[in-house]
Structure 1
């Protein structure tokens, strides 16, 4: 019995100790602190050795920069899928098999190739090809290959094909008669000629053969006819050249032989092209949020000088591009390394937005899902008294309870941080291999990029202790100065270079808003003797007392021995240029700055000050919600936001667009915006 009781006591003690440990872990990892505790960033850590010598100017005029992509644009989707297929070329290099579709009616199966084929020499000897032509559709140009209709397993193109160093993505489509479909692209100078049953003989095709001889190589005819029920059809195509009018006129004469002639329509869909590993549809979904965001800008921030919309070579179909206050900027204009393009990584694009030609020195960056809900002024971002106003969100969760924030990338291998969730201690425990970089991050790419950015700053920070915590950036507009952006890029040149090279979002991307705000709040510069005196002179009398010196030095954390040395030095230099006021002995600025002891002290000690003036602010003017397929919750969130819009608002699309509930959620979102901003802005085209 005694042994049993002893075992019971031990078991209870173990349980209590375990419970205490879990409580301690919870208190350590939960986001209790309201603000980030800034640390000192060592400016000498700059990776390329350059730093801007020009002081940041936050005065007007102020421009606005948006980042916008439209995931319903076929060109964008084809670029997206082509780039993703390139990451695993081996999966998509088998021959593409396009065959007749039983549910498509009368048609010719074809292969759609994007982008337009630069050269067809390598395909010219392929006996499976009837002819190749190009199609221009809005701002997209692509090629169409018409194969032999009798051969379904034609070896022509793969899903991903490399020709002369260029990559092409291919998918199946078909050409049919205009009246048989309500979708598709009507093809110029292309017709489907049908032989009626009573004339279904080769005699009826002699005129077509004669036309082909007359037009020569400039035009094409599909000699591989297809049987559709009791009729026979051929596809006739005339290239757009000097003979095109002759082609049209001659083709119409075929009607005299009792043949039916119908305009040809090309039908294809990006949905038929299945590429694994693509980002979720909500990442690029088009909910017209940019349109309503611009309406909020016109209503509440009309003082904005110019608006730039950065896109992947896209333009919203409703945008009034003739408006002198708005410009569409392709990513090619801002990326120094063109090999990084095309990119579908918003963090990569954000890191280059300060390169927009003609952009104001200071600008506001907004995602298209942000909008203003109240009048906005410059003082909502910056004041002369407080500097840049910084809003931090929740504290970043620990990647591991035993891996403090400051252990990531601090130059020491911490085994608790050497795992997937903690980004392998930012490389402190060895090189992060390409295989590791390709692994799916368990906590989401956004969280991974936060840890990656934290590791960057830990590498170059001082006074790093376990009591320092990082916080997430708020989902709100970012007030950016181009000189600071350049300094940030120079400080982490290699990190930004690697981040820019990711074509898709990665946990190894630099989280730009976090990096920018961390840099502003932690970057330091060495104080000169003049700036030290000015800060010591708190009463602005033009002289500094011993008491003012001591207060300044104690605030900077200077050792007692160094404090004594500096005070003794200033007293020795004060002689004829000092005056006594009671017990206080003071020294003038000219005498202080010329004092040899002061100069020695500054060179030995190095007193630092924040490089950029800033103030951490509360977030009562911010409102962020996420819309999901849960209709009830989404409706409640939108109702609350509609009743109390803040200065800065953001609605994030977290819907599953593959489910029908998303259609209802999108309607809710559209109705919310229409109610809040019913009037068209000057940035929209005037439609019916």
Structure 2
């Protein structure tokens, strides 16, 4: 009886224990779920307005905002800038104040705002706002020897280094504002990646050569200069054995072990460059002898092929260059004297016949080209531009070399979403150019223009797709073989439609020929063909992944068409007119009022009002300032939480002054604490002493 009671007690205890364990587990799960739920809910409230936007946000990723700001009328700044360039005083329109108002009104989902300055503080800025952090240049520049800097490209190159910054952040200039509600989907989506807004084309490389002529398959003499990347190789007489020579016209010349020709007005010229890097079998006249593989290319802006190839030949062989003179050019000789550029520093031709020195000479001269400031040394068809346009052309030439020639446009002047991972990849790829940009004290023609560099790197980077992945892409039924239906789909995506019968037959013949040439051990691999894989009259063998991978013509075709894919997802917004409004403001009051009325009538999502006032028209500029201030107040009348109350202003306008005051305050505070501690200690000791005596 006792045993039975004990057994029943043990059983009841086990049930109670299990119930307790289950309840504890359920309690833990409910606690965890509640915490996770609160975390998710709180994340929708982690923004500059402190309100939950869960019902409006489609995606919840933390996005911060970075502003770069400078007070152009600051006397200290003006004094520092005088060491580097002539400057004029700048009228301040307080764009930053109104940009922050627009941010809080139309982009409340932003998590935090970082203001990057050289130490200046706006007098109206509330430094106690927990959603605002002022960042000085010394906090983000790895190389402090580059400071001080007054170059916005140099500063922009380091803004992604701000401590605590979100991995994706919005970068704004202070003259950029929001005119309508914007959301993260206006910048990035899960399905299509980052949205790219483009505006006007990159400036032409010269007045006589638009970029559309470069690398278009036609040789354009006016484009065959360094600033136009030598016509993208269109004037190459041959693309083999690229050996650079640099003549007195500062054109690089490529010579190879082949004949090349230039045809103009029924006159043919050919040359052959032999293994010892000298010319032979040159004949000038109506016919050319001993020529082979002569290439004829269409030529725009024709000019005569005159006389310096022979001069170069004589120099290489230590002979006189009289009586004939030939111009050595990078790829195509130019004789028109009005197209010949001024002479740069001469390059000694000695040792050019020494093959060990060829690459070193070429590298040296290419560096000379890249390092040269564009100005009077450019070809006559070129006109100097402002440094912004020059930096665009500089990056465009750089990307032409790195990613190939393509027409490029300037990103729209608007908030730019920057991914820190992509920015780090970009700067690692072009580290030398970004270091040079960082070192500039003021804007420079050889700056890496921030938005243009970022977005075209984003759009240009590709990754190689393995042939096995390409096979799987078209193996839609996952059978391990390609059916006739799948092959038909492949061909329609590979060639122009309508698909010709010859294309299909050629592909099938390549497959059958490769099948016969497979090694015996590979051909013995038996892959069953699923039913209905072949059309009734099909003669194809089993098209397996092994067969496709080992069949060179098929593999080459697949790699050419599908062998690369975008490294980063992006989507180009084709029509930006409904989203972006850019106005270049000048001192003409009538035009200014008309531009601002257009903004009032139809505010776009992104508004940029760029200051282009004439400093010589001081009276008109005062009126312009009042008109612009009135427009700002009409669009954004409510102060933001980033502003001090109107009756207050910051005592210190420089971080050094503020930091010095805070240091003194902390010292005084510490002295007061020490004195209080001593007083309290003395009081306690006196009290204890009195109590002990009595």
TM-score range, shorter chain: 0.5 to 0.7
Aligned residue among 370, 380, 402 for 2:186 = 380
Q: What's the offset of the Cα at 1:310?
A: 1.2
> Does 1:677 pair with 2:633?
no
Q: Residues 395-453 of structure 1, C-alpha deviation per residue, up to 9 Å, x if partnerless?
A: 2342325545388899xx99735779769999984414877357797222221111111
Query: Pairwise CA RMSD of aligned residues?
Result: 4.1
Query: Do 1:423 and 1:451's aligned partners in 2 also have CA atoms closer than 8 Å?
Result: no
State how many pairs are aligned: 428
Query: Do 1:409 and 1:456's aligned partners in 2 also have CA atoms closer than 8 Å?
Result: no
- Name 2:73's counterpart in structure 1: 72
SS across alignment from 2:609: strand
Aligned 1:81-100 pairs, distance under 5 A: 81-82=82-83, 84=84
Q: What's the offset of the Cα at 1:603?
A: 13
Query: Do 1:63 and 1:307's aligned partners in 2 also have CA atoms closer than 8 Å?
Result: yes
> Does 1:61 pair with 2:62?
yes
Q: Residues 171-191 of structure 1, C-alpha deviation per residue, up to 9 Å, x if partnerless?
A: xxxxxxxxxxxxxxxxxxxxx
> Does 1:622 pair with 2:580?
yes
Distance 1:644 1:527, change over 3 A: same
Query: Do 2:467 and 2:549's aligned partners in 1 also have CA atoms closer than 8 Å?
Result: no
Q: What's the offset of the Cα at 1:461?
A: 2.1
Distance 1:579 1:328, change over 3 A: same
Query: Do 1:424 and 1:432's aligned partners in 2 also have CA atoms closer than 8 Å?
Result: no
Counterpart-to-counterpart distance in 2, 1:553 and 1:622: 41
Runs of 5+ unmatched residues, structure 2:
1-58, 233-249, 253-364, 378-382, 497-502, 648-694
Aligned 1:287-686 pairs, distance under 5 A: 287-400=93-206, 402-405=208-211, 416-417=222-223, 429=252, 430=365, 431-432=368-369, 436=373, 442-462=384-404, 464=405, 468-529=406-467, 531-533=469-471, 535-536=473-474, 545-549=483-487, 551-552=489-490, 555=493, 575-576=526-527, 578-581=529-532, 583=534, 592=545, 597=550, 601=555, 605=559, 607-617=563-573, 618-619=575-576, 620-658=578-616, 659-686=618-645
Q: What's the offset of the Cα at 1:357?
A: 1.3
Q: What's the offset of the Cα at 1:389?
A: 1.3
Counterpart-to-counterpart distance in 2, 1:388 and 1:439: 41
Q: Residues 543-562 of structure 1, C-alpha deviation per residue, up to 9 Å, x if partnerless?
A: 86454456457646799978
- Return the index of the structure with the highest Cα Rg: 2
Distance 1:428 1:644, change over 3 A: farther
SS across alignment from 1:327: strand
Q: What's the offset of the Cα at 1:637?
A: 0.5
- Name 1:94's counterpart in structure 2: none
Q: Residues 613-659 of structure 1, C-alpha deviation per residue, up to 9 Å, x if partnerless?
A: 11221202111101110000001100110111011111000112342
Aligned 1:185-200 pairs, distance under 5 A: none
Q: Residues 660-688 of structure 1, C-alpha deviation per residue, up to 9 Å, x if partnerless?
A: 21111111111111110011111111232
Aligned 1:237-276 pairs, distance under 5 A: none
Counterpart-to-counterpart distance in 2, 1:78 and 1:423: 40
Q: What's the offset of the Cα at 1:511?
A: 1.4
More helix by share: 2
Q: What's the offset of the Cα at 1:583?
A: 3.5
Counterpart-to-counterpart distance in 1, 2:369 and 2:427: 22
- Name 1:125's counterpart in structure 2: none
Distance 1:525 1:404, change over 3 A: farther
**Which stretch shifts more, 558-567 or 395-404?**
558-567
SS across alignment from 1:660: helix
Q: Residues 140-192 of structure 1, C-alpha deviation per residue, up to 9 Å, x if partnerless?
A: xxxxxxxxxxxxxxxxxxxxxxxxxxxxxxxxxxxxxxxxxxxxxxxxxxxxx
- Name 2:86's counterpart in structure 1: 278
Counterpart-to-counterpart distance in 2, 1:366 and 1:519: 20
Q: What's the offset of the Cα at 1:383?
A: 1.5
SS across alignment from 2:373: helix
Distance 1:562 1:501, change over 3 A: farther
Q: What's the offset of the Cα at 1:336?
A: 2.0
Distance 1:635 1:604, change over 3 A: closer
Query: Do 1:64 and 1:364's aligned partners in 2 also have CA atoms closer than 8 Å?
Result: yes
Aligned 1:29-44 pairs, distance under 5 A: none
Distance 1:545 1:433, change over 3 A: closer
Counterpart-to-counterpart distance in 2, 1:541 and 1:687: 73
Query: Do 1:351 and 1:512's aligned partners in 2 also have CA atoms closer than 8 Å?
Result: yes
Counterpart-to-counterpart distance in 1, 2:195 and 2:470: 25
SS across alignment from 2:639: coil
Runs of 5+ unmatched residues, structure 1:
1-57, 85-276
Distance 1:532 1:72, change over 3 A: same
Q: What's the offset of the Cα at 1:476?
A: 1.2
SS across alignment from 1:79: helix
Q: Residues 512-539 of structure 1, C-alpha deviation per residue, up to 9 Å, x if partnerless?
A: 1111111111210011356435643568
Counterpart-to-counterpart distance in 2, 1:563 and 1:280: 73
Distance 1:668 1:554, change over 3 A: same
Distance 1:535 1:317, change over 3 A: farther
Query: Do 1:345 and 1:504's aligned partners in 2 also have CA atoms closer than 8 Å?
Result: yes
Q: What's the offset of the Cα at 1:370?
A: 0.6
Query: Do 2:373 and 2:445's aligned partners in 1 also have CA atoms closer than 8 Å?
Result: no
Distance 1:664 1:359, change over 3 A: same
Q: Residues 479-537 of structure 1, C-alpha deviation per residue, up to 9 Å, x if partnerless?
A: 11111111111222222222222111122111111111111112100113564356435
Aligned 1:103-182 pairs, distance under 5 A: none
Q: What's the offset of the Cα at 1:576?
A: 3.6
Distance 1:73 1:422, change over 3 A: farther
